[in-house]
Amino acid sequence: MTGWHANTVAELSAALHEGSVSSVELTGLYLARIAQHQGALNAFISVTQEAALLQAERADARLRAGERGALIGVPIAHKDIFCTAGERTTCGSRMLANFVSPYDATVVERLRAAGAVMLGKTNMDEFAMGSSSETSYFGPVRNPWDPARVPGGSSGGSAPAATATDTGGSIRQPAALCGVTGLKPTYGRVSRFGMVAFASSLDQGGLLTISAEDAAVLLAAMAGFDERDSTSVELPVPDYTASLAQPLKGLKIGLLHEFFDQGLDPQIEQRIRDALDVLRLEGASLRDVSLPNLPLSVPTYYVVAPAECSSNLARFDGVRYGYRCERPRDLLDLYQRSRGEGFGAEVKRRIMVGTYVLSAGYYDAYYLKAQRVRALISADFARAFHEVDVLIGPTTPTAAFELGAKTGDPVTMYLNDIYTIGANLAGLPAISVPCGFVQGLPVGMQIIGPHFSEPRLLNVAHRYQCESDWHRRAPPGFT
């Protein structure tokens, strides 16, 4: 029993329905691989072995009964920011290190109903605040292509197939730096109920998979209106797999001028342009597009996101649940020490920045102005999509950097999100797909579309992956 881990969700589903392998066998293989590589990569916070095998047995019973379903018996993992009934949900933080949720997040609930088997909860930057998966209370995640390097963040532990979240690039960055496919859906397309909030107007659940086809299958199960989430959009969920093979003839691709600047590694630019040549041969046309306000996305984000983080994380006070300091002298000491000891340095930094920009006398100068700039960035995207169908550029300015290389300089770390933040500020869907290597490290190409254009993004990504095999490459020792 070897090699199944390299198969896509679609391939695993076919094998399960044909009886070539059982869900219990598959789940056992995946659990063994987690145990084999956890020490080197630290990708998981919790491994739910007993529950996974029980779910696999139930999935096999459903299959034997003749039930059809694309995810029945398929092993997946959940980012440890999604609540899971009866299992820990830590958000990579000491504050929630022992928190066991009494309910499932909507995403977890829907994937469970679809028959997917949960292997465990994956490691991440604390409360999803980071670009490198180094801020976790449970230790940094390591890149499988080079364990001395970061995997990207904040969904750094999420390995295909797995749920993830994206507030400023936290799905697309790990996808690019680890050579997998990462989809951030339109804001409101996937329910945020049970997804622990960082920045509520930016957070969006999504997924990391081997291929665009897998992303289409998983998104179909995850997406849809949820009355428990006030930001959930009440729109029908299309069959995302139906248009995957649609030809690209007539597709208008916009090349984002602001993405091909001096901050981009020239070798990464070449990989992107090579990928664009493939899409051109598929029938697409290219044109240059400029979003003049896009360079303001990083400073805008780092006002809006910390402000919302400051508000959302106020609930963690040592009183109701989560970490509580020992022997507090009084209520103020309880608050101060519980939060001071429970949160890591990056989370504290963002809470302080957020509290400052929301404070009296600074709200208009910072937070309100940032929201106005956010509207300008959204308007730039809207104008661009009157001219083109999708926008394409790099996902990250460099390949994976070494662990610790940027932890001492937060601004340098924040700039790693420079190409991904704009889509979050505008609430747009975006996908990162592997498109080559630079010095043995993966490179990601980002495709951005108008609101609810996931079928088109998946179509473009799938057609590219039909003509390339970058998404099938595996790191040495992981084949």
| Residue-wise pLDDT tens digits, 295-309 | 999 999 999 999 999
Residue 1 has pLDDT above 60, yes or no: no
Per-residue buried b or exposed e for 153-192, using 16+ beta carbons within 10 Å of the residue's own CB? bbbbbbbbbbbbbbbbbbbbbbbbbbbbbbbbbbbbbbbb
Q: What is the pLDDT of residue 321?
A: 87
Q: How far from 388 is each of 32, 222, 298, 381, 450, CA to CA, in Å? A: 46, 28, 24, 10, 10
Rounded to an integer, the average pLDDT of 325-335 is 96
Q: Among residues of the chain, what percentage have pLDDT more than 70? A: 100
Q: What is the pLDDT of residue 3?
A: 82
Token pair 């080197």 is found at 40
Residue 195 has pLDDT above 80, yes or no: yes
Catalytic residue among 22, 79, 93, 136: 79
Catalytic residue among 170, 232, 338, 453: 170
CB neighbours of 191 closer than 8 A, spacing ≥ 6? 105, 106, 107, 205, 224, 225, 226, 228, 229, 232
Residue 67 has pLDDT above 80, yes or no: yes
Tell me the pLDDT tens digit for each residue of 236-287: 999 999 999 999 999 999 999 999 988 999 999 999 999 999 999 999 999 9
Catalytic residue among 154, 297, 310, 453: 154
Q: What is the pLDDT of residue 99?
A: 96
Query: Does the active-site annotation cover 232?
Result: no
Tell me the pLDDT tens digit for each residue of 26-43: 999 999 999 999 999 999
Query: Does the active-site annotation cover 154?
Result: yes
Residue 330 has pLDDT above 70, yes or no: yes
Query: Does the active-site annotation cover 211?
Result: no
Tell me the pLDDT tens digit for each residue of 82-124: 999 999 999 999 999 999 999 999 999 999 999 999 999 999 9
